[in-house]
Amino acid sequence: MTSPDHGPRAPQRADEAPQAQAPAGAQATDAPEPAGKSDAGDAFWAGTDGAERRRKRRWPRVLIAVGVFVALLVAGLGGLLWQRQSSYNGNIERIKGAMPGEGANRPGPNVEGTENWLLVGSDSRADAPTTGEGNQVWKPGQQRTDTIMLLHLPADRKKAYVISFPRDSWVEIPGYGNQKINAAFSFGGPKLLIETMENLTGIRVDHFGAIDFEGFKSMTDALGGVTVNIKQSVYDPARKKQWTAGRQKLNGEDALLFVRQRYNLPNGDFDRIKRQQAFLGALAKQAADRGTLTNPLKLDRFMSALSKSISVDESVSAGDLRSLALSMRSVRASDVRFMTLPHKGTGMRAKQSVVFLDVARAKQLFEAVKTAQMADYVKQYGGGNTLGTVS
């Protein structure tokens, strides 16, 4: 596991066992972050060969086939509509007992027609994947989550909103007091993480999905690599990797290094969140540019890699995946908004470097999701992270 490189330093590693509960610091409201540019997605997704109109028409299929399960979830969903449906569906691991029971103290139902997915990326460093076909999505005390995202789908399916939660966010975990949010996964797996998220946000989680970073590797290689744009040259001392400013084509191994780096980034874990989001955008662009969806062999190779790498809660049926894919067929690149949970930066709690949430602004965001008013929230606070160039 990795140690955080943001905030003040302390002897303890962030990925060691959480310390005893300590009182959280006082919260204050910051000014909203600047709005993301409306064409933020175009830097990665837009075609460059003069066939823009054709690519726009093709985008519904691209997003469905590559899109939002950790902006990749919908990729797997869409693929089920085409080749080898039974095989792909059989590859996807169902996680028993992932969702809290109905007797649990959970938020009420969401606005009719909307859906909320909790998506995680496991930070296992094993050579073999820990999610997907035949693997465990959670091993008690052994795994945390490098990536935690809430995917919100409005009822009309014209947009998709992906909200990233910093893994070191200082929150209350039911039964454990205040801890880093990713400790919930270590303590109690998907169920406790869902309970923690619902307790924090007041938003009911409809479904859960997980993917190991090893899955990123196999999908990247299945596409023949992906291209990202790096703002400035930076060295990762943890993995002895030099990144050169400019456009970089990544194979699967490099993609893992890219999304995992935390050391030496100007804004630490916050920059890593943007790297993860940018990588997902690059993966989608590569699928579109290389004609993955029109090449049966490429599509099969990619869909096999994806479906073997993901796990979902046991209530998600093949029919649910088909229905969701069809409902997302009109979504385009510019319709997917990536955001980071409002926060007030880093500080220390119980000898740990943690992220303090901006409670007031976070509450507004959560309320917008609960009441299906995300379009109004975006108008007021901006459309999210710009993914064209990242640190």
CATH number of the structural domain spanning residue 235: 3.40.630.190
Per-residue model confidence (pLDDT) at position 262: 81
Q: Which residues constitute the domain of residue 309?
A: 42-381
For 305-341, letters b (16+ CB in 10 Å) and e give bbbbbbbbbeebeeeebbebbebbeebbbbbbbbbbb
The verdict on residue 5 lying in a domain is no
How far is Cα 55 from Cα 198, in angstroms, rounded to an integer? 38
How many domains does the chain divide into? Answer: 1
Contact 8, 354 (CB under 8 A): no
The verdict on residue 118 lying in a domain is yes
Tell me the per-residue pLDDT of 45-68, one tens digit each, with 9 for 90 and over. Answer: 333 344 444 444 443 333 333 344
The verdict on residue 262 lying in a domain is yes
pTM of the model: 0.73
The verdict on residue 167 lying in a domain is yes
Containing 207, the helix (H) or strand (E) segment is: strand 207-212
Q: Point out the residues of the chain with pLDDT beneath 70.
A: 1-85, 122-144, 212-213, 284-285, 287-294, 322, 325-326, 329, 332-334, 383-388
How far is Cα 104 from Cα 243, in angstroms, rounded to an integer? 47
Per-residue model confidence (pLDDT) at position 293: 61
Tokens of 244: 């050169």
Per-residue model confidence (pLDDT) at position 152: 94
Per-residue model confidence (pLDDT) at position 290: 55
The verdict on residue 146 lying in a domain is yes
The verdict on residue 207 lying in a domain is yes
The verdict on residue 20 lying in a domain is no
β-bridge pairing 177-180 and 170-173:
antiparallel
The verdict on residue 386 lying in a domain is no
